[in-house]
Amino acid sequence: MQEHSSGVKTDAKPHRSLFERLTAFISPEPENRAELLEVLHDAHERNLIDADALSMIEGVFQVSDLSARDIMVPRSQMDVIDISRPIEEWMPIVLETAHSRFPAIEGERDKVIGILLAKDLLRYYAEESFDVRAMLRPAVFIPESKRLNVLLRDFRATHNHMAIVVDEYSGVSGLITIEDVLEQIVGDIEDEYDFDEEEDNILSIKEGPRGPRWRVKALTEIEQFNEELDTELPDDDVDTIGGLVAKHLSRMPHKGDVFNYQGLRFEVLRADARQIHVLLVEKLPAAPSGGDDL
């Protein structure tokens, strides 16, 4: 605040040069997210920020757009332990998958009764009267529609690392971890137990209004894609699905890009300034026969 001789206090504003005022008039500040991203991409092209920084900023925006259903591990792909069965029967699953946490079910996948931390199983070898039920941590249940930015805030506040995703009928749809959410911002986080297994490249998800749907990693080989989806996409010039999408669009794909190609609907779910990460692929219904082709 600044006081004039009259005793009236006014806000002091910094003096701006004529050039600064003209620049502000010609190039106004971004008014929406699309304009802001344009400014950031321009900054990247002028080497003011690097590709990693731009990718993470875009990831932050994507987190607010995506919901749990978009990135969850589907129910059919969940590694669970059934504590209604002897521990000797499911211990090999724990050792083989090497996860740090497992949903504990009782007889059926819709009956998740808690979360078992793998480290708590060490007591099984040290205590004669080991009670696996006493080791369970409470399970957190969230709706499929929960936004990832809200979920990340909840994970941080409650110190939980895993949530069970349920549908509108309270049936288990899948699970999601804090790592899954963070990967939307910083890219894939690989640890010593992560492997590039081909069976994880294509995940079948709930059928859409047009037909079967899959979440597909962009690095999936076209040969594997054709084999699993019974398609005949060409692989003469490119090897991966991400490469095929980029070739079809003739540019670097962006999140939200959608197009139909050879009876399939492709939607880019995750992408950054450098590459595509995840696609949603939907098989379209066959077009009705309209008579002889000309």
- C-alpha 249: how far from chain center: 22
Residue 130 has pLDDT above 60, yes or no: yes
Q: Above 70 in pLDDT, residue 214?
A: yes
Using the predicted structure, report yes or no on whether residue 222 has a pLDDT greater than 60: yes
The pLDDT value given to residue 194: 47
**pLDDT tier, 211 (very low <50, low <70, confident <90, very high otherwise):** confident
For position 282, what pLDDT does the model report?
Answer: 92
pLDDT exceeds cutoff 90 at 81: yes
Least confident interval from 60-64, 178-182, 269-273 = 269-273
CA separation for the pair 61, 109 (Å, rounded)? 33
Question: Which domains, and CATH codes, for the chain?
Answer: 70-185 (3.10.580.10), 198-283 (3.30.465.10)
Task: Please state at what angle helix 51-65 crosses helix 178-186, rounded to 10 degrees.
Answer: 130
**CA-to-CA distance for 175 and 75, rounded, in angstroms?**
7
pLDDT for res 185: 79
The pTM (predicted TM-score) of the whole model is 0.58
* pLDDT of amino acid 52: 74
Structure tokens at 271: 């992408």
Average pLDDT on 238-250 reads: 90
Q: Tell me the average pLDDT across 70-92.
A: 89
pLDDT at 278 over 80: yes
State mean pLDDT over 247-267: 88
